[in-house]
Amino acid sequence: MSFEVQDTKHAPLKTDEDVVKMRKLVREEMTAMGFGLVDQTKIITAASELARNTLRYGGGGDGEILRISNGIKIGVELRFIDQGPGIEDLELALTDGYTSGGGLGLGLSGSKRLADEFEIDTAPGQGTTVTIRKWKML
């Protein structure tokens, strides 16, 4: 799917406080774009999970919040980028209940269900970028 990027905001993800800031930025952006409370809650929840994963498993990294459009709808795209060890077995990592760190094992799979679009670019030793998108009709 092709779309235009209208605006981009960057947020470091180095501390727990940065995760809170990322959630706040996502809420502000989605509110300004006119997303309803249910969509906001879904994407903020996904953002929180993915930001924590960036911190916990990727050793920290960066978040990006992009305003996007494709002519008939607008959306928000969130990217979570780290230079950590990467995900060795992506299929396993996307399985509900799988965790390598003692959590509930719903971070990746849950985030995938909460977003309209979900992509992961990862390789062992090369870090991970997780991208999610939420769309809204104009």
For 84-117, the pLDDT digits (tens) are 999 998 998 888 777 766 554 458 999 999 999 9
78 pLDDT exceeds 90? Answer: yes
Question: Domain range holding 53?
Answer: 4-137
Structure confidence at residue 22 as a pLDDT band (50, 70, 90): very high
Write the pLDDT tens digit of every residue in 33-46: 999 999 999 999 99
Q: Are 53 and 107 within 8 A, CB to CB?
A: yes
CATH number at residue 117: 3.30.565.10
pTM for the complete prediction? 0.93
Distance of CA 79 to the CA centre of its chain: 5
Report the residue count for the chain: 138
Which of 69, 101, 81 has its CA nearest to residue 22?
81
CB within 8 Å of 33: residues ≥ 6 apart: 67, 74, 76, 136
Number of domains in the chain: 1
- Rg of the chain over Cα atoms, rounded to whole angstroms, equals 14
